[in-house]
Amino acid sequence: MANLDTRELAEELEGLEDEMPHCPNCGGDHLSPPFGPRIWKCLSCHFAFDEPDMKDSEEDAERATAIRELLEEVDPDGDGETLISEDDFEEHARELAEEIGAIPDEIHWPFTCIDWKQAASDLQTDYSTVTFDGTDYYYVFGSLS
């Protein structure tokens, strides 16, 4: 799994919203996916409307909603967060240890015997978790990553 950058997700969301139809009542582009046969709801003014030609937009609307909810949870200020997939967290722990100088440049015993799985598990306690697209991610809320 690849790590996610919330800035890239924000760009994807912007692109999805640019392609999304607009509410006929207020012109808003924050539309919920259909909650009935072709019935859409504007998240800005709560106007519900029937739009039979928007079937192709349903998947985009669902993706936009998922990204919007994720960004509101993990990066409400839009500062940018890195979401580290659970599968990549052990490697993240190794890289972090090297970055902060916990591992000497010339690696030799006992540093070659580190239980990285346990080290990653210990490090995870300092992270928050979120699930997106069926994958669990770790992040430090408010980090400068």
Strand partners, 132: 135
Quick check: pTM over 0.75?
Answer: no
- Helix, strand, coil shares of the chain, percent, nearest 5, are 40, 20, 40
Torsion sign (Cα): 103, 105, 107, 109: negative
Select the CATH number that applies to the domain covering 4-74 from these four: 2.30.30, 2.60.40, 3.30.200, 3.40.50: 2.30.30
Domain ranges of the chain: 4-74, 82-139
Better-predicted residue by pLDDT, 38 or 134: 134
Which residues 6+ apart lie within 8 Å of 47 measured at CB? 23, 24, 25, 26, 41
Q: Identify the pLDDT of residue 19.
A: 78
Q: What pLDDT digit, counting tens, does each position of 55-97 carry?
A: 567 778 788 889 999 999 999 988 899 999 999 999 999 999 9
Better-predicted residue by pLDDT, 8 or 22: 8
Q: Identify the pLDDT of residue 139.
A: 94
Q: What pLDDT digit, counting tens, does each position of 114-143 carry?
A: 899 999 999 999 999 999 999 999 998 755
Q: pLDDT band at 144, cuts 50/70/90?
A: very low
